[in-house]
Amino acid sequence: MPDSPKDLLNRFYEAVNAGDLDALDVLLADDVVEHESFPGIEPNKEGIKQVFAMFRSAFPNLRMEAHELIAEGGLVCARVTTTGTQDGEFMGMPPSGKQVEVEMIDIVRVADGQVVEHWGVMDSMTMMQQLGAMPEEAPV
């Protein structure tokens, strides 16, 4: 019996947490469409793997924890907290040793036991503030 959409998304997070990016080859459809843009990255399967490789390189202890998963048909939505320590270069920033805790929302469409589409929202500003790339308080 194939995984439910919730189970499939949990398997995705478990693979990323374990650094097993090869598992994404099975979990992502070859023609998966990524709707969350990332500068310089193609919105396809290889692009998704490239993004996670970059994050795992910069944050070797990267952890994605799903708090709620809500599914309807082939769609599943998750509220996720992503944490990690920047021990590698990230987007031109040298390793800082700083920890991040970032809230995200993921929505995926599943068909034939694989992720075929992804939409996501990540609190990038908070992450950049935590890394020291942006001021934490608004200017007065």
- What is the spatial distance between Cα 75 and Cα 128, in angstroms, rounded to a whole number? 30
Give me the pLDDT at residue 2, please.
65
Cβ distance 121 to 38 under 8 Å?
A: no
pLDDT at 140: 59
pTM summary value:
0.91
Q: Give the per-residue pLDDT at 85.
A: 98
Q: Answer yes or no: are the C-beta atoms of 108 and 117 closer than 8 Å.
A: yes
CB contact at 8 A, 49 and 21: yes
User: What residue ranges define each of the domains in the chain, with the CATH number in brackets?
Assistant: 5-129 (3.10.450.50)
- Cα–Cα distance, 113 to 52 (Å, whole number): 21
pLDDT at res. 136:
78
pLDDT along the chain (140 residues), means of 10: 86 97 97 93 96 96 97 96 97 95 97 96 94 78
